[in-house]
Structure 1
Amino acid sequence: MLWSLTLQAQQNRSLTCLSAAYPPYVIDDDGLTGIDVDVVREAGRRLGLDIKIRLEPWKRLEEALSAGLRDCVFSYFKTDPRKAYAMYTSVPLHITQYTLFVRTDQAPQTRTLQDLFGKTIAVNRGFQTTPEFESARRQGQIKVIEVGRDEQSMKMLALGRVHAVLTNADVGQHVIRKLGLDDIEPLMPPMSITPAYLVLRKASEFETLRDQFNWALFEILKDGTYERIRERYIDETGSD
């Protein structure tokens, strides 16, 4: 009953959530769609929230959220610095498998990040990577080029302008198929497996909403809605 009354009181409220284009999770083709977009909208529907979703580059999103200028962002990794200004849901939107992609003719000689020391790797601007990757970057063991979209980095890899790309495994595979690049492949196992969350600005007025999102996201997982959403985009991208 308490949940029902709370949700009724929240009817007709709106919330703007921001993300960056990140297929198959956030797809900017003839309207915003994607796994995470559909899950966030479904959570909003269950909570009586009119959720408006807008796109913004990752780096600008991070700066704006840390300055208290954004109320809702997805999908974020959980880090200690971000906990100072962001509240995370306890249920993730998806699991990120950060994976190195290389040209197929280089794959036999490249199995780990150490094999790429002295080489150039492309990553999305503003993305949180992995401790191992950041350590190698700080120590100058790798050269990193930051790009705006994964399509750009994969094209650079195909042309030999970089030696590898670090990105989400599902995203990388989606981009490779979309661009018809049959000479690029992921290195397995992935460098890291990390949950990615919806986050709200750290403020007392959002604590109840954070708890409500937890409830809605758990129900979406429990009743099979998440799997149905994911399968829809898996079928579209041809992955398994």
Structure 2
Amino acid sequence: MKKIRMRLVVLFSLLIIGFLAITGCSSNTSNNEDSFSKIKEKGYIVMGLDDTFAPMGFKDEKGEIVGFDVDLAKEVFKRIGLEVRFQPIDWTMKESELKAGNIDLIWNGYSINDERKEKVAFSKPYLENKQIIVTLSNSDIITKNDLKDKNVAAQNGSSAVDAMNKEPTIVSSFKGGEPVVFDTNNEALMDLEAGRVDAFVGDEVLARYYIKQRGYDKYKVIEENFGKEEYGIGMRKGDKELVKQVDKALDDMKQDGTYEEIFNKWFK
């Protein structure tokens, strides 16, 4: 009986190890294979986004997802011959959602940087941006050095946090020695307006859109910033054909004026 039990234990252990190996391999394969033919076959593509990131992708007063990136994506995939479905995600989990196959691309003010290049395949850059510092209009903060002993807010998992961390001397001078992170940029900006934090660091396109909605007299954008960057569309490493198709559609839109029309709708 002891021998039989031992054999069963060994057999069961081998089955578990084999199952884990198979699931691990399938995950790697799905991330490295070109899935464009499968996407074309099902007829739609799933775009992951933070639905609070105005004006790139956000819910309007009717609860519909709208924005600059949303309009671009609709036109891009119309040209490719696919329906695009918008999937709100936890922005801190964006690359994990992509790798797991829950979404097919990340497109929502997604800044290109070296760390992200290791995880995703990027399209060509399609919009310039920078990480600006916003305070209330009556603040005495004029330079980055003035952020010493101040509460500085940003969105968790954002490129704003990455940009600040490139200047560790500045960050270590913050109150608490690190940024105060929030789930969304809107929450961070609301805490700035309420005076619970002293400054906000985030994407210029979002911050200036927010300021426009809330009133120019309430806020001040200081001259210094945490660096320029470019937005791109993130896809799985193996999706070379999808990257090619998206790049071509964007190039065509810039040549025929469609990109400029969408840009002017949101930013002029």
User: Is TM more than 0.5 here?
Assistant: yes
- Deviation, 1:86, is 0.7
Normalized per residue, the structure richer in helix is 2
SS in 1 for 2:223: coil
Superposition map of 1:1-240 within 5 A: 10=40, 13-21=43-51, 22-29=53-60, 30=62, 31-65=64-98, 70-74=103-107, 75-92=109-126, 94-106=127-139, 109-129=140-160, 133-136=164-167, 140-142=172-174, 143-180=178-215, 182-203=217-238, 206-234=239-267, 240=268
- Deviation, 1:148, is 2.2
Matches of 1:23 and 1:86 in 2, distance apart? Answer: 23
Give the aligned residue type for 1:151: N
Give the aligned residue type for 2:119: Y
Matches of 1:58 and 1:14 in 2, distance apart? Answer: 22
1:6-57 Cα shifts (integer Å, max 9, x gaps): 99x9486211011112111112113111111110111101111111111112
- Decide whether aligned partners of structure 1 residues 60 and 11 sit closer, same or farther in structure 2, where only a CA change above 3 A counts: closer
- Decide whether aligned partners of structure 1 residues 151 and 10 sit closer, same or farther in structure 2, where only a CA change above 3 A counts: closer
The gaps in structure 2 that reach 5 residues or longer are: 1-35
- Deviation, 1:62, is 3.4
2:163·2:227 contact (CA, 8 Å) conserved in 1? no
The gaps in structure 1 that reach 5 residues or longer are: 1-5, 235-239
SS in 1 for 2:197: coil
Identity %: 21
TM-score by length of 1: 0.83
Matches of 2:166 and 2:40 in 1, distance apart? Answer: 45
How many pairs align?
Answer: 224
Q: Over alpha carbons, which structure has the higher Rg?
A: 2
- Decide whether aligned partners of structure 1 residues 66 and 80 sit closer, same or farther in structure 2, where only a CA change above 3 A counts: farther
Q: Which segments of structure 1 move beyond 6 Å, counting only runs of 4 or more?
A: none
Deviates more, 1:62-71 or 1:208-217: 62-71
1:95-153 Cα shifts (integer Å, max 9, x gaps): 222100011111xx423222202211110111022666114458622231111222222
